[in-house]
Amino acid sequence: MSGVDQRLPFVPVNIAILTISDTRNLENDASGALLEERATEFGHKVVERTLVADHQPAIEKQLRTWISDPRIDIVLSTGGTGVTARDVTPEAVRRVIEKEIPGFGELFRYLSYRLIGTATIQSRAIAGVANATYIFALPGSTSACKDAWDEILQFQLDSRHRPCNFVELLPRLKETVSL
């Protein structure tokens, strides 16, 4: 049965939050602020938060910087997952990740469909793993970030969640495979 096993210890993770936007700044970045608030209230540590423009090389550079930082376990990005010409976050994420987690985007769109109907097909939310760091690329809407955290991330980033969660896999992401 799925749920949180209260007998197990909670293991906080270190999170970096990246807002991708040509129009927002830290003062008016409601989506980034919501993710920071949710993560810290849950017991995780937000170690960095920044903004970059909707420019693929800039997004890739920031992601590569963070996946090289041993302090960061999780990158949450918000913005740039739509279908317009400026929306290049999924392309940037795909160039950085080693393994895609297709179920994240699929589940996000399924859950989103219940709230916004067929408009959910315009979201290209994506997740993956790079250098033992999880990357989750969320839409820029505050509502979408809330739904992603409340319906998926709070559980998968909780070491006590059963039957499994991403936190318990973090040490195994660092293992090397010998052939």
Residue ranges in the chain whose pLDDT is less than 70:
1, 176-179
Q: Where are the domains of the chain?
A: 12-166
Q: For residue 137, give both structure tokens.
A: 């690329």
Residue 1 is predicted with a pLDDT of 58
Measured torsion, CA atoms of residues 168, 172, 174, 179, in degrees rounded to the nearest 10: -170
pLDDT at res. 174: 81
**CATH architecture of residue range(s) 12-166:** 3-Layer(aba) Sandwich (3.40)
How far apart are alpha carbons 73 and 145 in whole angstroms?
19
Q: For the whole prediction, is pTM greater than 0.75? A: yes
Give the contacts of 119 (CB within 8 A, at least 6 positions apart): none
Handedness of CA 164, 168, 172, 173 (dihedral sign): positive
Q: Which two tokens stand for residue 53?
A: 């423009």
Say what the pLDDT of residue 179 is.
Answer: 53
pLDDT of residue 35: 98
